[in-house]
A and B are shown apart, each in its own frame.
Chain A
Amino acid sequence: MTPLSIYIHIPFCIHKCGYCDFNSYALEGLLEKGHVGEDWAAAYAGAAIRDIESRASALGLAGMPVETVFFGGGTPSLFPAPETARILRSLRERFEILPGAEIALEANPGAAESGRFAALREAGVNRISIGMQSFSDTALRRLERVHTGEDAREAFRSARRAGFENISLDLMFGIPHQGLDEAAADVESAIDLGPEHLSAYELTIESGTNFGALHARGELGGLPDEDTALAMWEMRDRLLSAAGYERYEISNFARPGFKCRHNLNYWRRGEYLGAGAGAHSFIAGRRFWNHARPDHYIKASGDPTAGKEIIDSAEKAIGETFMLGLRLTDGVSLDEAARSCGADPEEIFGGVFSELIESGLLERAGRTLRLTPKGLLLANQVLQKFI
């Protein structure tokens, strides 16, 4: 039996960052509008537990082995540790959490005191991913983050002190008015802290965010031009590789043995059960997702489903396998794709493969297909060929 991955979404944040298009909400705003009450944490954890229970029994998942659990957000570190522990306990009651399972939680500086880390470690969390973004106070202010560079360093140190041996940092580049040197300084500061894992991604302007609105009005100045942005990508790869980090995905780097197993499961099109507001699941060829707003989610518990989709053709399944898997530097194994989707990828996408190989975006390594360095930078152009 292939082990399962479980995702728990915690949608609460201290403040909504200007660039953020995650399903996240400033807690204070929710309280003010009366969308959640003073008992928000208990109510939310209760709803998540009911969600897991009913899904586990409806889908016959009870007792399944689980290899990764991921608390993502939002800001899960803002969520009271006892409530997190309660959710974890209920998972252990229902599933077989494998020894050595990756149990990860996202933390943001500003909601990351060492007391919380210790409690989380106690509850069984063994990997912390810290949303650092930058070490420059100016850059952090521009991003509307609620913490300073020093807070970020301190968050890292407290996680270490609490005993975490697998820590990841999120770093951003291409921040408005950030030069190449400043971006490099951020990468170097991150390396100096010595995390096991790093996600370093270029800022994307998403519609529906503050930045998106500013950008549409032409008021978001200081974004890097293409040459600078490309130089930043190059700098990032060079510095991190020199420091012993292996790039295993477009924006992800790890010391040997520390790739994020939970995210690898997404990219490899594995199955997962998602609980919490707006969380998505993929089980037995079906995708379904929950109501996004925490108040709706809490009220709807029992059946929080907001929508679903069935992946009913081998072609679609194979397309997804490549759309996701090609983000990984290891690429996609043709044989594995054939096995998991029940059709031959070359039969369906043979033409696309040769076209992409010819234009230097894709390469073949034995029975594996992967993006070339050029292809990694033009990934969207490649991935859309598979849908």
Chain B
Amino acid sequence: MNLNLIRNFSIIAHIDHGKSTLADRILEITDALSDREMSSQVLDSMDLEQERGITIKAASVRLNYRAASGDSYIFNLIDTPGHVDFHYEVSRSLTACEGALLIVDATQGIQAQTLANAYLALEQDLVIIPVINKIDLPSADVDRVIAQIVEVLGLDGAECLAVSAKRGTGVPEVLEAIIERIPPPGGDPAASPRALIIDSWFDSYQGAVPLIRVFDGTIKKGDHIRFMATGGEYQVLSTAAFLPHLAELDSLGPGEVGLLTAAIREVSDTRVGDTVTSAASPASEPIPGFKEPMAMVYSGLYAADSGDFENLRTALDKLHLNDSAFTFEPETSGALGFGFRCGFLGLLHMDIIRERLEREYDLTLIFTAPTVVYRVVMNSGEAIEIDSPARLPELSRVDHIEEPYILGTILVPSDYVGPVMKLCQEKRGTQRTMKYLDTQTVELIYELPFSEILFDFHDKLKSVTRGYGSFDYEHLAFRPSEVVKLDILLNDQPVDAFSSIIHKEKAYYHGRALTGRMRKLIPRQMFEVSIQAAIGNRVIARETIKALRKDVTAKCYGGDITRKRKLLEKQKEGKKRMKSIGTVEVPQEAFMAVLEVNKEGS
């Protein structure tokens, strides 16, 4: 394979700027799919991606492109997700590429993730092709966006391409620019093979399947390979690529992106970032890998029906095979029984896992309120990290508690700087810098407690900036903090699954809002239910749910027993989603009340 005829690039952008739509147009132009197969956001192959209109997993596809020059090129295109939770997918995708298409929405201009993703590409020395998208929209302002790209990113304005990914305008020029500007991959076809694992997943027939980018040498069927970090050795059964349908290839040479199968048992044997080499004559140095993403948000996960515990474990095992970013370990709750403490990259990630478990494994689940990890420094000087409020040690043994901070980047039109600063202050943030990126756009950098931005920061930011503000963050460090444990008691019994850790100054408000919210969520029972919020022994809020006195279908005649049964079944079905805590039936939503309280308040 002539390396000069290969181009590897990712499509990166802020969320919703049109990456997947541009990928659609490129697929069309290169005739990768028949008209009949073509749909919207084809690379978003998961049901969830299609339904939500977002990309969750990066998707790679190998395309044949006949250039204006008449030469036939191979493009390896990787469509990446825009949401912060899946930021790491962008960085690993970029490692496999020599260039990136940086899409910027012509109506919105540069947003926080545009910056973050552009920096990632620059750090890796990739060629960036700025592509201004959605020029078909009446509010598109191409000149302004070009000016921003020049001023903020320091790129050449003349290099900006303007397209409408939706209509296809300007897309052929993008393809030609890819050939002209993005360098072909380097690499020595004769050297000992070195390939980077950029993704891997589990297939019930093929086992663990790594997606690799070959840097040196060639990998083909029958080769004995070794994974340098894990030391595992296998014989290659096949090599293939997505065109976008899966198709076998004779071999994968330098610059090529594809997958290999080798009867590998577990995804953990094919660690993303590991280097694949030859078992017989291994390369001396691995390719610099990248950090595995780390779970940052934790929540307790329980089957509503405790008989489903084993099914839940099996489901988690299976799901984990394809999503190593998510972690789980058994935990026991006094209120909920046996379950798991699960770690997620963020709330979107958590929501996606929940939906997949319920949908693909038909489980009814209860998630407890998500929490960040706290670092507890004991009097002895020993420090422990806790991912659950229930694990907070006896306070008399605690010297102090630290909470995780993030470094947040907010881009906002200058008119909204005031409200944004006020919001950050409410969220206990400290400003690091503030600068004008151009005459209208201000970049604010804040240190903020992670727990404060977790729930509603993004929504609030959108509302105080009328949708113009955007936000991105990276994790910073633990900082000492005045936090307390807030307990919730149902009929005087503390319920561990409702406990939360919260900043002292917000506890009172939070306790009141939470009990109020729970009063609305917990249906009336056949006896009175009291809900109290307490810090230690001090009750700070109390609500009561009056006993249910009447629930009767007055009218029941006629022979349609089937329907009568269905109506009762429906009512009963609602109860299945509830968990008995003591004698109180608590709906799933009540466990997540914290989320909503955070949305309403502060």
> A266: which of B552, B558, B565, B568 is its contact (CB, 8 Å)?
B558
Q: How far, in whole Å, are A233 and B550 apart by their CA atoms in the complex?
A: 10
Q: Which residues of chain B from 537 to 569 have any CB-CB distance to chain A below 8 Å in the complex?
A: 548-562, 564-565, 568-569
- CB pair A381 B565 closer than 8 Å: no
Q: How far, in whole Å, are A379 and B571 apart by their CA atoms in the complex?
A: 12
- CB pair B549 A230 closer than 8 Å: yes
Q: Contacts A226-B549, A377-B550; is A287 near B562 (CB within 8 Å)?
A: yes
CB distance from A275 to the nearest CB of B (A): 11
Q: Contacts A359-B526, A384-B568; is A251 near B561 (CB within 8 Å)?
A: no
- CB pair B552 A250 closer than 8 Å: yes
- CB pair B556 A378 closer than 8 Å: no
Q: List chain B residues, Cβ under 8 A from A202.
A: 554
Q: Which residues of chain B from 565 to 590 have any CB-CB distance to chain A below 8 Å in the complex?
A: 565, 568-569, 571-572, 575
- CB pair A251 B526 closer than 8 Å: no
- CB pair A387 B558 closer than 8 Å: no
Q: Contacts A251-B555, A323-B568, A383-B568; is A287 near B550 (CB within 8 Å)?
A: no
Q: List chain B residues, Cβ under 8 A from A79.
A: none
Q: List chain A residues, Cβ under 8 A from B554.
A: 201-204, 250-251
> A327 on the interface (CB 8 Å rule)?
yes
Q: List chain B residues, Cβ under 8 A from A263.
A: 557
Find the A residue at minimum CB distance from B556.
Answer: A327
- CB pair A280 B562 closer than 8 Å: yes
Find the A residue at minimum CB distance from B555.
Answer: A201
Q: How far, in whole Å, are A327 and B553 apart by their CA atoms in the complex?
A: 10
CB distance from B340 to the nearest CB of A (A): 29
CB distance from A331 to the nearest CB of B (A): 16
CB distance from B413 to the nearest CB of A (A): 38
Q: List chain A residues, Cβ under 8 A from B557.
A: 72, 263, 266
- CB pair B559 A279 closer than 8 Å: yes
> A204: which of B526, B548, B555, B575 is its contact (CB, 8 Å)?
B555
- CB pair B565 A387 closer than 8 Å: yes
- CB pair B558 A229 closer than 8 Å: no
- CB pair A72 B558 closer than 8 Å: yes
CB distance from B96 to the nearest CB of A (A): 52
Q: List chain A residues, Cβ under 8 A from B556.
A: 250-251, 327
The interface bits of chain A over 263-304 (1 if a CB of B lies within 8 angstroms of the residue's CB, else 0) are 100100000101000011110000101000000000000000
Q: List chain B residues, Cβ under 8 A from A250.
A: 552, 554, 556
Q: Which residues of chain A from 228 to 283 have any CB-CB distance to chain B below 8 Å in the complex?
A: 229-230, 233, 250-251, 263, 266, 272, 274, 279-282
> A320 on the interface (CB 8 Å rule)?
yes
Q: How far, in whole Å, are A361 and B548 apart by their CA atoms in the complex?
A: 13
> B568: which of A230, A359, A387 is its contact (CB, 8 Å)?
A387
Find the A residue at minimum CB distance from B564.
Answer: A323
> B552: which of A272, A359, A380 is its contact (CB, 8 Å)?
A380
Q: Contacts A251-B555, A287-B562, A320-B561; is A381 near B549 (CB within 8 Å)?
A: no
> A376 on the interface (CB 8 Å rule)?
yes
Find the A residue at minimum CB distance from B570.
Answer: A384
Q: How far, in whole Å, are A202 and B562 apart by their CA atoms in the complex?
A: 22
Say what secondary structure dominates the interface of chain B. loop
- A interface residues, how many (CB within 8 angstroms): 38
The interface bits of chain A over 200-213 (1 if a CB of B lies within 8 angstroms of the residue's CB, else 0) are 01111000000000
Q: How far, in whole Å, are A287 and B565 apart by their CA atoms in the complex?
A: 13
Q: List chain A residues, Cβ under 8 A from B561.
A: 266, 280, 282, 287, 320, 324
CB distance from B307 to the nearest CB of A (A): 15
- CB pair B553 A384 closer than 8 Å: no
Q: Contacts A233-B550, A287-B561, A323-B565; is A378 near B555 (CB within 8 Å)?
A: no
Q: How far, in whole Å, are A383 and B561 apart by their CA atoms in the complex?
A: 13
Q: List chain A residues, Cβ under 8 A from B572.
A: 384, 387
Find the A residue at minimum CB distance from B565.
Answer: A387
Q: How far, in whole Å, are A229 and B562 apart by their CA atoms in the complex?
A: 28
> A377: which of B549, B559, B571 is its contact (CB, 8 Å)?
B549
Find the B residue at minimum CB distance from A260.
Answer: B557
> A12 on the interface (CB 8 Å rule)?
no
Find the A residue at minimum CB distance from B552.
Answer: A379
Q: List chain B residues, Cβ under 8 A from A379.
A: 551-553
Q: How far, in whole Å, are A250 and B561 apart by their CA atoms in the complex?
A: 17
- CB pair A378 B568 closer than 8 Å: no
Find the B residue at minimum CB distance from A385.
Answer: B572
Q: Which residues of chain B from 251 to 305 have any CB-CB distance to chain A below 8 Å in the complex?
A: none
Q: Contacts A251-B555, A266-B559, A272-B559; is A378 near B565 (CB within 8 Å)?
A: no
> A309 on the interface (CB 8 Å rule)?
yes
Find the B residue at minimum CB distance from A174.
Answer: B554
Q: Which residues of chain B from 197 to 221 have any CB-CB distance to chain A below 8 Å in the complex?
A: none
Q: How far, in whole Å, are A274 and B562 apart by their CA atoms in the complex?
A: 14
> A381: which of B526, B559, B560, B564 is its contact (CB, 8 Å)?
B526
Q: Which residues of chain A from 336 to 375 have any CB-CB distance to chain B below 8 Å in the complex?
A: 359, 361
Q: How far, in whole Å, are A359 and B525 apart by their CA atoms in the complex?
A: 12
- CB pair B552 A280 closer than 8 Å: no
Q: List chain B residues, Cβ under 8 A from A361.
A: 526
- CB pair A289 B552 closer than 8 Å: no
> A117 on the interface (CB 8 Å rule)?
no
CB distance from B569 to the nearest CB of A (A): 6
Find the A residue at minimum CB distance from B525.
Answer: A381
> B569: which of A72, A324, A327, A384 is its contact (CB, 8 Å)?
A384
Q: How far, in whole Å, are A190 and B517 apart by their CA atoms in the complex?
A: 45
Find the A residue at minimum CB distance from B569.
Answer: A387
Q: How far, in whole Å, are A174 and B569 apart by their CA atoms in the complex?
A: 26
CB distance from B300 to the nearest CB of A (A): 28
- CB pair A274 B550 closer than 8 Å: no
Q: How far, in whole Å, are A320 and B562 apart by their CA atoms in the complex?
A: 10
Q: Contacts A359-B526, A387-B569; is A280 near B550 (CB within 8 Å)?
A: no
CB distance from A360 to the nearest CB of B (A): 9
> B562: which of A201, A226, A289, A377 is its contact (CB, 8 Å)?
A289
CB distance from A32 to the nearest CB of B (A): 27
> A7 on the interface (CB 8 Å rule)?
yes
CB distance from A81 to the nearest CB of B (A): 23
- CB pair B559 A7 closer than 8 Å: yes
Q: How far, in whole Å, are A320 and B526 apart by their CA atoms in the complex?
A: 23
Q: How far, in whole Å, are A266 and B575 apart by their CA atoms in the complex?
A: 27
Q: How far, in whole Å, are A368 and B561 apart by their CA atoms in the complex?
A: 23
Q: List chain B residues, Cβ under 8 A from A281.
A: 559
Q: List chain A residues, Cβ under 8 A from B550.
A: 226, 229-230, 233, 377-378
CB distance from B363 to the nearest CB of A (A): 22
Q: Which of A229, A272, A378 has the most CB of B within 10 A?
A: A378
Find the B residue at minimum CB distance from A327.
Answer: B556
CB distance from B552 to the nearest CB of A (A): 4
The interface bits of chain B over 348-377 (1 if a CB of A lies within 8 angstroms of the residue's CB, else 0) are 000000000000000000000000000000
- CB pair A204 B553 closer than 8 Å: yes
Q: How far, in whole Å, are A323 and B565 apart by their CA atoms in the complex?
A: 8
Q: How far, in whole Å, are A309 and B566 apart by their CA atoms in the complex?
A: 13
Q: How far, in whole Å, are A204 and B550 apart by their CA atoms in the complex?
A: 13
- CB pair B559 A380 closer than 8 Å: no
Q: Contacts A202-B554, A226-B550, A251-B554; is A378 near B559 (CB within 8 Å)?
A: no
- CB pair A380 B558 closer than 8 Å: no
Q: How far, in whole Å, are A377 and B548 apart by their CA atoms in the complex?
A: 10
- CB pair B526 A380 closer than 8 Å: no
Q: List chain B residues, Cβ under 8 A from A359.
A: 526
Other than the given A280-B560, A361-B526, 9 more pairs (CB < 8 A) read: A204-B554, A204-B555, A280-B562, A287-B562, A289-B560, A320-B561, A378-B549, A379-B551, A381-B551
A-B contact pairs, 7 of them (CB 8 A): A7-B558, A202-B554, A280-B562, A377-B552, A378-B551, A380-B552, A380-B571
Q: Which 7 A-B pairs have the closest CB atoms?
A: A280-B559, A201-B554, A379-B552, A202-B554, A384-B572, A384-B568, A380-B551
The chain A residues found within 8 Å of chain B, CB to CB, are: 7, 72, 201-204, 226, 229-230, 233, 250-251, 263, 266, 272, 274, 279-282, 287, 289, 309, 320, 323-324, 327, 359, 361, 376-381, 383-384, 387
